[in-house]
A and B are shown apart, each in its own frame.
Chain A
Amino acid sequence: MTQRNIVEAINSALVDEMEADQRVMVLGLDVGKLGGVFRTTSGLVEKFGAQRVVDTPLAEAGIVGASLGLAVAGMVPVAEIQFLGFTAQAFHQIGPQLGKFRQRSRGRYHCQVTIRAPFGGGIRSPEFHSDAVEVQFVQSPGIKIVMPSNPYDAKGLLIEAIRDPDPVLFCEPDRLYRAGRAEVPDGAYTVPFGKAALVREGGQVTLVAWSAAVELCLRAADLLAAEGISTAVLDLRTLVPLDVETLCSQVAKTGRCVVVHEAPLSAGFGAEISATLMEEVFYDLEAPVGRVGAFDVPFPAASLEDYYLPSVDRVVKAVKRTLES
């Protein structure tokens, strides 16, 4: 076993899949000699050559559109969009094109394409770099949405994504890229989609989160434990497909739930979680489902991001509110 952080785990997944399958290629901005702005693709061009690790022109729609065509030609592209916020420049090639191509071709073609994109606040990056827009793609059926929160899942879920015959949007929590190392096996393994992970047991309330918000929830749970409040943390891992079964059975156990995400609150994925719980386990609930998100304003200047993003304090308060009702 080897200790790896998320950057190293992703790199390891790419190396394993590129070694195992000649069709797998990496393309995007600065993925070659630079190794990506976060170094996730470090060393790949030296190992696999410039034909399979391609620095593309600065053109997000071009990168995604070309990936669709590469897949039709029989390649397995892993495209990097440098920051998720810049998927705005490729939006029409993701949902309407990649997501619908199988249906539009009546099943003749499918798109074995992975789009990797770092995102999230907390690293003082310039504007547009921090936007958490994952929920925009939930309304684009055909795209799977993967949100790892830790090094082990990052590697296993990325390998699952690369091997998935359908397009996958793989969102990487840049704040946690180098936050810590964990055991990540050498060699390929997969973590299945649609299987949420209970990352902390707790009897009184369940925090539901994904990506970097999981780490936030774990810190909040520690603080709550010191006050005698037992809090479970459920990591959804993937938004599409959604593990409705685990979500509902876990929340039914605690009777109380707070959803936490970095995206703005209104029509965030927390609303979907809350609505699902209403439909499925309403009579097991002992309090209204709480939500903690970013505020319904655009991501502010980095100097203000700590006020804008969900904080441990806001999560703790939300949990206490739900226990009071």
Chain B
Amino acid sequence: MSARKNTAVAIASRQVLQPDGKLVDGAQPMEEEFLLEALRWMMKSRLYDHKVIALQRQGQFGVYSPGMGQEASIVGSAFAVDPARDWMVPQYRELMATVHHGLPLEVISSQYLGKIAPARIPDGVKVLPTQVAIAAQLPQATGLAWGLKLRGEDSVVIAYVGDGGSSEGDFHEGLNLAGVTKAPIVFFISNNQWAISTSRRVQSATRSFALRAAGYGFDGVEVDGNDVMAVYAATRAAVEKARAGGGPSIVEATTYRMSFHNTTDNPSRYQDPKEYEEATTRDPIERVQKYLASIGLWDPQKEAEWSDELREENERALKLAAEAQAPRPGDVFANVYEEAPPRVARQRSELVDGRRD
């Protein structure tokens, strides 16, 4: 493949599984059980996207950014960290990674329904809230990793950002500080070629976002972000290095946003359909299914069975989210201060009790 010369799509320097479902010569495949589990999560992610986009179109779900096309990056990276001790700092397009990390699907779903208490990340789940102020999560993630190190914990942080986010000042400040403090962190750049309508081509003149790691004094790797085996291997290596005291890394997963930015977006205004068509030939899910079929572990019947089960799982979570406690007016004041200042307390009683003390 030589996509780099004509499109923004860089060819990953690391690949295990080719788009045609064949292993790269001499590459070590993922263990079959593990790969099947990864496929299940990838399918779950895509089916969830389809379902909630449909719900959003009916006015039954909030504005949503799907992960379609990026499932290998989302799942491969999540598999590389340990939910029991590692922390995940998402942006907003990695929903199923946070679910793999222990955040119940009904909890994160309820956030998109505007729920308050039901959307609280449960205690013990090491996930930070989604971040819409692009790249603001990076200095925070660095501080978290640095703090865990100061506390003597055996934890690593994985922080997500995109190609667009890499242009933000917080990207620089967060990564530079991580280098200086040798924080145990992996910066996972989902380079999906788009920041809403802004192409990766005009996002930066760098030929690789992973290269930027050199400027911060640590390592960066580029990986085929549509190859779950390669994403897992590269992220896992970065996580192990961080855990061993080797400091931060960038993993740049080169992928493609096979959908819109979010449910308010219309890519037909800016996206070349040929580029999109080309991207579909590198679909991360089909690639794994082809490989598993080639070793006798996948067939259309299995696909139908799994899809039914996963749809049911997703719908169960969405039902729980829909039925969860609706927000009450007083929740406007919830979770702002440990103890509300008198003026805020008075405003609350004005709203809730309809009286001015």
Contact = CB atoms under 8 A, between A and B. Distances in A.
Interface of A: 25, 51, 56-57, 59, 61-62, 64-75, 77, 92-93, 96-97, 101-110, 141-142, 144, 164-166, 194, 240-242, 244-245
B322 interface: no
Contacts of A166: 337-338
A72 B145 CA distance: 10
Given A51-B150, A65-B136, A241 B143 contact: no
Contacts of A144: 341
Nearest to B170: A61
B343 A241 contact: yes
24 contacts: A25-B150, A57-B180, A61-B173, A62-B170, A65-B142, A65-B170, A68-B139, A69-B141, A69-B142, A69-B143, A69-B146, A75-B147, A101-B129, A102-B336, A105-B128, A106-B117, A106-B119, A107-B335, A108-B121, A108-B122, A142-B337, A164-B338, A166-B337, A245-B342
Interface string B104-132: 00000000000011011111000011000
B129 A105 contact: yes
A240 to B, nearest CB: 7
Nearest to A68: B140
B138 interface: yes
B133 A97 contact: yes
A105 to B, nearest CB: 5
Contacts of A107: 120, 334-335
Taking each of B133, B142, B150, B176, which has the highest tally of chain A beta carbons within 10 Å of its own beta carbon? B150
B136 A93 contact: yes
A67 B173 CA distance: 13
Given A73-B151, A108-B123, 10 more contacts: A62-B142, A65-B170, A66-B174, A68-B143, A69-B144, A72-B147, A75-B147, A241-B341, A242-B341, A244-B343
B331 to A, nearest CB: 9
A110 B115 CA distance: 19
Given A62-B139, A68-B140, A75-B147, A105 B174 contact: no
Given A68-B140, A108-B121, A241-B342, A62 B147 contact: no
Contacts of A104: 129
B195 interface: no
B260 to A, nearest CB: 24
A68 B145 CA distance: 11
